[in-house]
């Protein structure tokens, strides 16, 4: 506590130095905390449902989808799960009061709300897979219905089917396919019946068509459930595409295992870039500490003359670095909050209205920031503290300045800082140049005074198009 008290007095005596150090560390830690918030949302955050650690998703190495007949067999035979549900996410439409909106929809089995433990904010969930009823999201209720408290019972149309709004989902629940935010949930069998071709494909055991997820019974782990699912699968009619074993995984972030694997390289690149930024900030603060250590040469000499050992000096100097890193961590959380808010607004204003990231700082983000602050204490504080604790006592007591030729560490850190900054600037410049090339690329046709419109096609049209492509002679 005496070390902390003295460190606070030291940073208070040099407000300019403290401001620069905290600002540099705050920017470095802030961008890392912001990127970690994105990765936390995509890979680590559990679903906002009851007991999310017991919610699992089934998949094969060959793909994340399984067939609808397999789902029914798994649901009827399982003893390791309290319940299982099937879901088919799709780009859809939501028509109300003569206005059509693009919407992301889930066609789900009847067990969906029970398996996830989702209670509606208003109304109820549909009670039959043949019921002409739907549930809208809280966000859709606000955007499309202006938070109308009497929305339950109103008629809406999605694709070719009319539904009666049965309920509104809770605010925190937006489906299981984040960052894709769902606007609408409809009964799976009712949705299938509007497209005969799709219904035939869904009932084909050889056609993977639905995501399957379930809720484990208390005390049951994913491995035990996976063994049971593979045992059940071995008793089902053989299909050539079922060679890969079934894997049962807890739902964290993106439920699609293939999507998580494909996002890993992007995550690695992002972390590498923000890691370089943090390293530059640490080297910069390290240079400031080296210069400050030279100015405190006489003070440290007096401490040594009074009997302070090198370990004691290192502890005091690292405590001062920890105080700076703590201030940088707090500033980093503030910068990260601003950055995350800007990202959320950018996504909300972009062309993909259904894509949404929840970048709120939770326990994992706070813990990551704290650990990062501790790590930066060693990165930028250890070498300057080690250098400052090596003093010539007699010259120092006489007020002599240290020999500048011995400051090789400062020269090395300056070269490292300039080199890392140059690499970062070159990478950013190349990235901007690529974006510029994409923006000015010649598409091969006239673009002046032209507009483009995206038109989502129904699964029926997609099915007919695929059948036509297969029947076309090569």
pLDDT tens, position by position, for the chain (474 residues)?
Answer: 887 887 788 778 888 888 988 998 999 999 999 999 888 888 888 887 888 889 998 988 777 888 899 999 999 999 999 999 999 888 888 888 888 888 888 999 999 999 988 889 999 998 888 889 999 999 899 988 888 899 999 999 988 889 999 999 998 888 888 777 889 999 998 888 887 777 788 888 888 888 999 999 998 999 999 999 999 988 887 665 556 788 888 888 777 766 777 788 888 888 888 888 888 888 888 888 777 766 666 677 777 776 667 777 778 878 888 888 899 999 999 998 998 888 877 776 655 566 777 788 888 899 999 999 888 888 877 777 777 666 665 555 555 555 554 446 667 777 877 888 888 888 888 888 988 888 888 888 888 888 877 665 554 445 444 544 444 444
Residues 196 and 303 in one domain: no
Are 299 and 225 in a shared domain? no
Nearest residue to 356 via CA among 45, 5, 63, 22: 45
Whether residue 188 lies inside any domain: the answer is yes
Of 251, 275, 292, which residue constitutes the final position of a domain?
251
Would 446 be classed as within a structural domain?
A: no
**Domain closes at, from 251, 276, 303:** 251
Same domain, 26 and 111: no
232 & 315 share domain: no
- Could you tell me the residue range of the domain that residue 94 belongs to? 52-251
Least Cα distance to 39 among 362, 326, 294, 311 occurs for 362
* Token pair listed for 39: 């990765």
- HSE-up of residue 124 (Cα within 13 Å, Cβ side): 7
pLDDT at 464: 42
String of DSSP letters for 3-44: HHHHHHHHHHH-HHHHHHHHHHHHHHHHHHHHHHHHHIIIII
Residue from 176, 182, 173, 212 nearest 63 by CA: 212
Which pLDDT score is estimated for 268?
Answer: 87
Tell me if 460 is assigned to some domain.
no
Residue 468 within a domain: no
Q: Are 408 and 267 in contact (CB under 8 A)?
A: no
Which of the listed residues 192, 221, 251 is the one where a domain comes to its end? 251
Q: Are 156 and 162 in contact (CB under 8 A)?
A: yes
Q: Does residue 463 lie in a domain region?
A: no
Q: Do 39 and 161 belong to one domain?
A: no
Residue 240 shares a structural domain with residue 388: no
**Three-state SS at 88:** strand
Residues 85 and 144 in one domain: yes
Domain count, the chain: 2
In a domain, 32, yes or no: yes
For residue 35, how many other CB atoms are within 10 A of its CB?
Answer: 20
What is the crossing angle of helices 68-77 and 222-234, to 10°? Answer: 110
State residue 79's pLDDT score: 92
Pair 178, 254: CB distance under 8 Å: yes
Strand 81-96 versus strand 55-60 pairing type? unpaired
Same domain membership, residue 296 and residue 270: yes
321 and 234 in a single domain? The answer is no
Question: Does 58 fall in a domain?
Answer: yes
Residues 106, 135, single domain; the answer is yes
Instruction: Give the integer Cα–Cα distance in Å for 55 and 214.
Output: 6
The token pair that represents 403 in the structure block:
């020999």
Q: Does residue 90 fall inside a structural domain?
A: yes
Confidence (pTM)? 0.73
Beta-bridge partners for 250:
56
Are 76 and 94 within one domain? yes
CB-count burial class (<10 Å; 0-12, 13-18, 19+) for 176: buried
The H-or-E segment that residue 73 falls in is helix 68-77
Do 38 and 70 share a structural domain? no
Q: What is the pLDDT of residue 468?
A: 45
Does residue 321 contact residue 374 with C-beta atoms inside 8 Å?
no
């Amino acid at each position: 506590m005496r070390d902390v008290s003295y460190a606070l007095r030291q940073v208070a005596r040099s407000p300019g130095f403290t401001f620069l150090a905290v600002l540099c560390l705050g920017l470095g830690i802030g961008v890392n905390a912001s990127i970690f918030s994105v990765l936390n949302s995509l890979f680590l955050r559990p679903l906002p449902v009851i007991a999310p650690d017991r919610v699992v998703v089934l998949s094969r190495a060959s793909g994340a989808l399984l067939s609808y007949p397999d789902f029914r067999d798994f649901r009827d035979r399982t003893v390791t799960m309290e319940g299982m549900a099937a879901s088919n996410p799709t780009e859809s439409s939501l028509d109300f009061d003569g206005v059509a909106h693009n919407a992301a929809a889930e066609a789900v089995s009847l067990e969906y709300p029970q398996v996830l433990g989702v209670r509606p904010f208003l109304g109820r969930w549909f009670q039959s897979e043949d019921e002409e009823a739907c549930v809208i999201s809280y966000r859709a209720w606000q955007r499309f219905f202006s938070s109308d408290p009497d929305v339950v019972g109103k008629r809406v149309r999605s694709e070719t089917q009319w539904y009666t709004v049965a309920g509104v989902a809770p605010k925190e629940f937006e489906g299981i396919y984040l960052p894709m935010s769902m606007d609408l949930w409809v009964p799976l069998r009712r949705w299938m019946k509007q497209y005969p071709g799709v219904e035939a494909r869904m009932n084909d055991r050889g056609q993977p068509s639905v995501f399957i997820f379930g809720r484990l019974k208390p005390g049951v782990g994913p491995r035990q459930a996976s063994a049971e699912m593979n045992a059940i699968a071995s008793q089902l009619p053989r299909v050539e595409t079922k060679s890969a074993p079934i894997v049962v995984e807890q739902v964290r972030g993106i439920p699609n295992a293939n999507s998580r694997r494909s996002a890993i390289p992007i995550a690695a690149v992002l972390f590498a870039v923000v890691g370089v930024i943090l390293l530059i900030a640490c080297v910069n603060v390290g240079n400031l500490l080296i210069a400050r250590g030279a100015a405190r040469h006489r003070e440290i000499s007096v401490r040594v003359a009074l009997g302070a050992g090198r370990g004691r000096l290192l502890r005091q100097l690292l405590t001062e670095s920890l105080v700076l890193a703590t201030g940088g961590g707090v500033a980093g959380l503030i910068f990260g909050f601003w950055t995350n808010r800007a990202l959320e607004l950018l996504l909300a204003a972009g062309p993909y209205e259904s894509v949404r990231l929840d970048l709120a700082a939770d326990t994992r983000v706070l813990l990551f920031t704290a650990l990062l602050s501790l790590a930066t204490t060693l990165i930028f504080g250890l070498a300057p503290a080690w250098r400052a604790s090596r003093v010539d006592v007699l010259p120092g007591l006489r007020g002599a300045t240290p020999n500048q030729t011995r400051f090789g560490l400062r020269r090395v850190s300056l070269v490292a800082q300039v080199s890392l900054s140059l690499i970062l600037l070159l990478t950013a410049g190349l990235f901007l140049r690529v974006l510029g090339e994409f923006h000015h690329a010649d598409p091969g046709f006239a673009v002046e005074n032209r507009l483009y419109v995206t038109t989502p096609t129904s699964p029926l049209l997609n099915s007919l198009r695929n059948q036509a492509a297969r029947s076309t002679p090569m």
